Structure formats: C-alpha cells, structure tokens
Amino acid sequence: MKIAISSTGRDLESTVDIRFGRCPFFVIVEIEDNEIKSTKFIENPAGKLAGGAGPTAAEAVANEGVEKIITVNVGPRAFGVLQQLGIEIYQGNGKIKDVVQLFIEGKLVKISGATGPMHLGLGAGRRHGRGGP
C-alpha cells in the first residue's frame, strides 16, 4: 500500500508540512507487511499555484497511486476531491519517519472532514492584494 505525506523537505528526517495543498513536497511511502518497502519524494506541483492548490495536489498524489495520505490540514476542496478518489486522510504531525511508524502501528486518527477554510495554507496574506488568480 502506498501513502503520501505532506513534507517540508526531501528526506525522512523532515517534518510533516501542516498544509496539504501548499506543501512543497510529498513523501510517497510504500508499506508492505508493516514495514517501509520504498520511499520516494515528489515536488508538489500545486505548491505555488495562485488558486486551486488543494485539488491539484490531490490529483498529483492520486496519480502516484496512493490510497491514503497523512497531513495536518486539508481544505474543503481538496477534501472533496480526495473523497471522490477514495483516498483516506490521516492526521499526523512531527518527523516523517515517526509519523509513518505511528501510521503502521495504527495510532493515527482518520479525519472525516475539512480541517480549515480555503486558502489557509497561503499564510497571513491569503489572497488579499493579489486580485484574480
């Protein structure tokens, strides 16, 4: 089974990025028999989009064949798309490798709704001042 984790960096020592749509990287981890079989890092193509980051990020991880994601915050649009794709969302924060271990042990909580409003991942400026996309 493949899972994707929103990440701040390109290795297992990096921490989970609290934003799903606008994280810079995704770690794709393949788990077999409760062990990490392989890991891969992809750049999030949606990280710098003006609008629609969440759904585009969801599309990117789905195209990697993942069945579950681990992150902290998911916006309403990304949530809707992940749900349509049948991808489950788990909440986890901290070092990537610790979070994966917690996931394997079944200690992460599955989330069943968006955790924040749209554009949360854009930071304090949100879209203000940038006009249209």
Q: Does 73 bind another protein (CB under 8 A)?
A: no
Between residues 10 and 40, which has the closer beta carbon with respect to another protein? 40
Stretch that binds another protein, among 15-23, 27-35, 36-44, 49-57 (CB under 8 A): 49-57
Residue 110: how many other CB atoms lie within 10 Å: 9
Stretch that binds another protein, among 11-19, 24-32, 95-103, 125-133 (CB under 8 A): 125-133
What does the angle CA 82 – CA 39 – CA 60 come to, to the nearest 5 degrees? 30
- Closest C-alpha to 59, from 20, 31, 12, 1: 20
What does the angle CA 93 – CA 99 – CA 102 come to, to the nearest 5 degrees? 120
Which stretches of the chain bind another protein, using CB under 8 A?
A: 46, 49, 51-52, 55-56, 58-59, 62-63, 77, 80-81, 84-85, 118, 129-133
